[in-house]
Amino acid sequence: MKSHYRVVVIGGGVVGSSVLYHLAKFGWSDVCLIERSVLTAGSSWHAAGGFHALNADPNIAALQAYTIDLLSEIEKESGKSVGMHMTGGLTLAGTPDRWEWLQSAYRIFQSIGIEDVRLVTPEEAGELCPVMSTDGILGGMWADREGYIDTTGTVHAYAGAAKINGAEVIEHNRVLELHQTSEGWDVITEKGKVSCEHVVNAGGLWAKQVGRMAGIELPVSPLAHHYLLTESIPEVAALDKELPLVVDLEGFTYMRQDQQGMLLGIYEINHQHWMMDGAPWDYGIELLEEDIGRIENELTLGFERYPVLQEAGVKNWVNGAFTFSPDGNPLVGPVPGKRGYWSACAVMAGFLQGGGVGKSLAEWMIHGEPEADVYGMDVARYGDYAANKRYIKETTGQFYTRRFVMTYPNEQLPAGRPLKKAPAHSDMSAAGCYWGASWDLEVPLYFAPAGFEETPSLKRSNAFDLVAEECRAVREGVGLLDISGFSRFEVTGPNAEAWLDRIMAGRLPAPGRARLAPMLSPEGRLKGDLTLFNWGDGSWWIMGSYYLRAWHMRWFNDHLDDGVVIRDLGEDTAGFSLAGPKSRDVIVKLTDGAVGELPFMGCGDFDIGLLRCRVGRLSVAGELGYEIHCRMGDHIELRRLLLEAGAEQGIREYGFNALLSLRLEKSFGIWSAEFTQGYTPGMTGMDRWIAWDKGDFVGRDAALAERDGDGAAQLLVTLEIDALDADASGFEPIWSGDRRVGFVTSGGYGHTTGKSLAMALVDRELAAEGTELTVHVVGVERPAKVITPSPSDPDGQAMRG
Ligand SMILES: Cc1cc2nc3c(=O)[nH]c(=O)nc-3n(C[C@H](O)[C@H](O)[C@H](O)COP(=O)(O)OP(=O)(O)OC[C@H]3O[C@@H](n4cnc5c(N)ncnc54)[C@H](O)[C@@H]3O)c2cc1C
CB neighbour list of residue 16: distance below 8 Å, 6 or more residues apart: 9, 10, 33, 35, 200, 202, 204, 344
The pLDDT of residue 111 is above 90: no
Q: 93 phi and psi, to 5 degrees?
A: -115, 130
What does the DSSP 8-state code read for residue 289? P
- Nearest partner of 518 among 700, 745, 661, 336, judged by Cα: 700
202 CB under 6 A from ligand 1? yes
Residue closest via CA to ligand 1's atom 37 equals: 203
Q: 205 phi and psi, to 5 degrees?
A: -60, -20
Separation between Cα atoms, residue 746 and residue 729, nearest integer Å: 5
Say which range, 107-116, 305-314, 662-671, has the weakest mean pLDDT. 107-116
What does the DSSP 8-state code read for residue 454? P
Q: What is the pLDDT of residues 713-770, one digit of tens each?
A: 999 999 999 999 999 999 999 999 999 999 999 999 999 999 999 999 999 999 999 9
Averaged over 583-601, what is the pLDDT?
93
Averaged over 659-667, what is the pLDDT?
98
Instruction: Report long-range pairs for 547-550 (Cβ below 8 Å, ≥24 apart).
Output: 547/381, 547/438, 547/439, 548/487, 548/671, 549/383, 549/439, 549/487, 550/336, 550/380, 550/381, 550/382, 550/383, 550/384
Residue closest via CA to ligand 1's atom 31 equals: 13
Q: Give residue 496's region: left, alpha or beta (phi > 0; psi -120 to 50).
A: alpha
Q: What is the pLDDT of residues 31-69, one digit of tens each?
A: 999 999 999 999 999 999 999 877 777 788 888 889 999
Separation between Cα atoms, residue 46 and residue 40, nearest integer Å: 9
Closest ligand 1 atom to residue 224 Cα is 53
Q: What is the pLDDT of residues 446-501, one digit of tens each?
A: 999 999 999 999 999 999 999 999 999 999 999 999 999 999 999 999 999 999 99
261 CB under 6 A from ligand 1? no
Q: In the chain, pLDDT over 90 holds for what percent of residues?
A: 95
Give the global pTM: 0.96
36 CB under 6 A from ligand 1? yes
Q: What is the pLDDT of residues 140-159, one digit of tens each?
A: 999 999 999 999 999 999 99
178 CB under 6 A from ligand 1? no
Q: Which of 173, 322, 353 to mutate to test the pocket of ligand 1 (most atoms within 8 A of CB)?
A: 322
Averaged over 287-301, what is the pLDDT?
94
**C-alpha 498 to ligand 1 mean position (Å):** 46
Secondary structure of 657-701 in HEC code, one letter for each residue: HHHHHHHHHCCCCCECCCECCCCCHHHHCHHHHCCCCCCCCCCHH
Closest ligand 1 atom to residue 38 Cα is 49
Cα–chain-centroid distance for residue 720? 27
**C-alpha 207 to ligand 1 mean position (Å):** 10
- The burial of 180, by beta-carbon neighbours within 10 Å (0-12 exposed, 13-18 middle, 19 or more buried), is given as middle
3-state secondary structure of 290: coil
213 CB under 6 A from ligand 1? no
Secondary structure of 480-546 in HEC code, one letter for each residue: EEECCCEEEEEEECCCHHHHHHHHECCCCCCCCEEEEEEEECCCCCEEEEEEEEECCCCCEEEEEEH
13 CB under 6 A from ligand 1? yes
Q: What is the pLDDT of residues 83-96, one digit of tens each?
A: 999 999 999 999 99
What length does the chain have?
A: 801
Q: How many CB atoms lie within 10 A of CB 4?
A: 13
Separation between Cα atoms, residue 183 and residue 177, nearest integer Å: 17
Q: What is the pLDDT of residue 705?
A: 96
The pLDDT of residue 380 is above 90: yes
- Residue-wise burial string across 223-256, b where 16 or more C-beta atoms lie within 10 A, e elsewhere: bbbbbbbbeebeebeeeeeebbbbbbbbbbbbbb
694 CB under 6 A from ligand 1? no
Pairing of strands 89-93, 245-248: parallel
Q: What is the pLDDT of residue 285?
A: 87
Q: 301 phi and psi, to 5 degrees?
A: -60, -40
Which secondary-structure segment (H or E) carries 779? none
**C-alpha 14 to ligand 1 mean position (Å):** 7
User: Read out DSSP for 553-593?
Assistant: HHHHHHT--TT-EEEE-TTTEEEEEEESTTHHHHHGGG-SS
Q: Which of 351, 357, 379, 404 to mutate to test the pocket of ligand 1 (most atoms within 8 A of CB)?
A: 351
The pLDDT of residue 342 is above 90: yes
Closest ligand 1 atom to residue 344 Cα is 26
Separation between Cα atoms, residue 397 and residue 394, nearest integer Å: 5
41 CB under 6 A from ligand 1? yes
Mean pLDDT rounded to a whole number for the chain: 96
332 CB under 6 A from ligand 1? no
- Cβ-contact 194, 5 below 8 angstroms: yes
**C-alpha 687 to ligand 1 mean position (Å):** 44
Q: What is the pLDDT of residues 597-617, one digit of tens each?
A: 999 999 999 999 999 999 999
586 CB under 6 A from ligand 1? no
Q: What is the pLDDT of residues 528-564, one digit of tens each?
A: 999 999 999 999 999 999 999 999 999 999 999 999 9
386 CB under 6 A from ligand 1? no
Q: 393 phi and psi, to 5 degrees?
A: -65, -45
324 CB under 6 A from ligand 1? no
- Nearest partner of 643 among 634, 635, 652, judged by Cα: 652
What does the DSSP 8-state code read for residue 291? -
Averaged over 501-509, what is the pLDDT?
98
664 CB under 6 A from ligand 1? no
Closest ligand 1 atom to residue 42 Cα is 30
Q: What is the pLDDT of residue 784?
A: 98
Closest ligand 1 atom to residue 254 Cα is 8
Which secondary-structure segment (H or E) carries 270? none
- Nearest partner of 307 among 342, 262, 338, judged by Cα: 262
Secondary structure of 47-93 in HEC code, one letter for each residue: CCCEECCCCCCHHHHHHHHHHHHHHHHHHHHHCCCCCCECCCEEEEE
- The burial of 160, by beta-carbon neighbours within 10 Å (0-12 exposed, 13-18 middle, 19 or more buried), is given as buried
Q: How many CB atoms lie within 10 A of CB 110?
A: 17
441 CB under 6 A from ligand 1? no
149 CB under 6 A from ligand 1? no
436: number of CA atoms within 13 Å, CB side?
A: 15
Closest ligand 1 atom to residue 148 Cα is 8
Separation between Cα atoms, residue 437 and residue 414, nearest integer Å: 9
Closest ligand 1 atom to residue 17 Cα is 25
Residue closest via CA to ligand 1's atom 15 equals: 349
**C-alpha 16 to ligand 1 mean position (Å):** 9
User: Read out DSSP for 394-451?
Assistant: HHHHHHHHTTTS---TT----TT-S-B--TTHHHHHHTTEEEEEETTEEEEEEE--TT
Q: 332 phi and psi, to 5 degrees?
A: -125, 145
- Cβ-contact 447, 466 below 8 angstroms: yes
Separation between Cα atoms, residue 685 and residue 762, nearest integer Å: 13
- Cis link prior to 418 (omega < 30° from 0)? yes
Q: How many CB atoms lie within 10 A of CB 745?
A: 24
65 CB under 6 A from ligand 1? no
**C-alpha 206 to ligand 1 mean position (Å):** 9
3-state secondary structure of 790: coil
The pLDDT of residue 243 is above 80: yes
Which secondary-structure segment (H or E) carries 135? none
229 CB under 6 A from ligand 1? no
Separation between Cα atoms, residue 220 and residue 276, nearest integer Å: 8
pLDDT band at 438 (very low <50, low <70, confident <90, very high): very high
Q: Which of 8, 34, 44, 323 to mutate to test the pocket of ligand 1 (most atoms within 8 A of CB)?
A: 44
Closest ligand 1 atom to residue 318 Cα is 1
3-state secondary structure of 1: coil
89 CB under 6 A from ligand 1? no
**C-alpha 714 to ligand 1 mean position (Å):** 40
Q: Give residue 87's region: left, alpha or beta (phi > 0; psi -120 to 50).
A: alpha
210 CB under 6 A from ligand 1? yes
pLDDT band at 109 (very low <50, low <70, confident <90, very high): confident
- Work out the end-to-end distance of the chain between its first and last CA atoms, rounded to an integer number of angstroms: 70
Pairing of strands 565-568, 733-736: unpaired
CB neighbour list of residue 600: distance below 8 Å, 6 or more residues apart: 617, 618, 799, 800
- Nearest partner of 509 among 703, 689, 702, 697, judged by Cα: 689
Q: In the chain, pLDDT over 70 holds for what percent of residues?
A: 100
Separation between Cα atoms, residue 492 and residue 749, nearest integer Å: 41
Q: What is the pLDDT of residue 108?
A: 85
14 CB under 6 A from ligand 1? yes
Residue closest via CA to ligand 1's atom 22 equals: 350
Q: 634 phi and psi, to 5 degrees?
A: -95, 0
Q: How many CB atoms lie within 10 A of CB 321?
A: 23
Separation between Cα atoms, residue 745 and residue 20, nearest integer Å: 35
11 CB under 6 A from ligand 1? yes
